[in-house]
Amino acid sequence: MTPTSQIIARDIHRSRAFYAAAFRPLGLSVVDAGDGFALAGDDAPVIRVTEGRWGLDDDTGNPETRPALIGVEAPDRASARAVLFAAIQAGGYAGVSGTDRRRIRVIDPDGNCIECSCRN
C-alpha cells in the first residue's frame, strides 16, 4: 500500500481513534501500516500516519516535520458536514472555508489540517 500523503502524530493511539471516528462518514477506515496506520477507502490508502514530533531535532538542531495540510474529497456537502461534526466529537477542531462553504477544514489533535472538499 502506498498512501498519497503522510503526516506525523505525537500520540499514535489518540490519532488512530480520531481518524477512525472523524473520517468514517466518508467510508474511510483505519488499517495497520507498519509503524503507524493508514486511513484507507476501497482498499486504497489515502493518508499514512506515523508517530513522531515536529520542530528541531534535539540532537542535531536539524528541522524535522511541520504540521501537514492534506486534502480529501467528499461526495457531497452532507458528507463534508458529517466529517465536520464527527471531527469535533472526536476531539479535533473544524471549520468551514470558502465563500461557497464547500470546504471543511479539520484540525487533528496534533495540529495537522485535513481539508475535506466537495464539488457540489
Quick one: average pLDDT of 51-79?
69
**How many structural domains are present in the chain?**
1
Q: Are 46 and 5 in contact (CB under 8 A)?
A: yes
pLDDT band at residue 55 under the 50/70/90 scheme: low
Look at residue 1 in the predicted model and tell me its pLDDT. 39
Domain CATH for 25: 3.10.180.10
Between CA 6 and CA 9 the distance in angstroms is 10
d(CA 3, CA 87): 21
Given a contact cutoff of 8 angstroms between Cβ atoms, the answer to whether 4 and 48 are in contact is no
Residue 91 domain flag: yes
Q: Confirm if 4 and 49 have CB atoms less than 8 A apart.
A: no
Asked if residue 58 belongs to a domain, the reply is no
Domain around 95: 5-53+65-117
Q: Say if 79 falls within a structural domain.
A: yes
Q: How many helices and strands, by DSSP H and E, does the chain display?
A: 2, 8
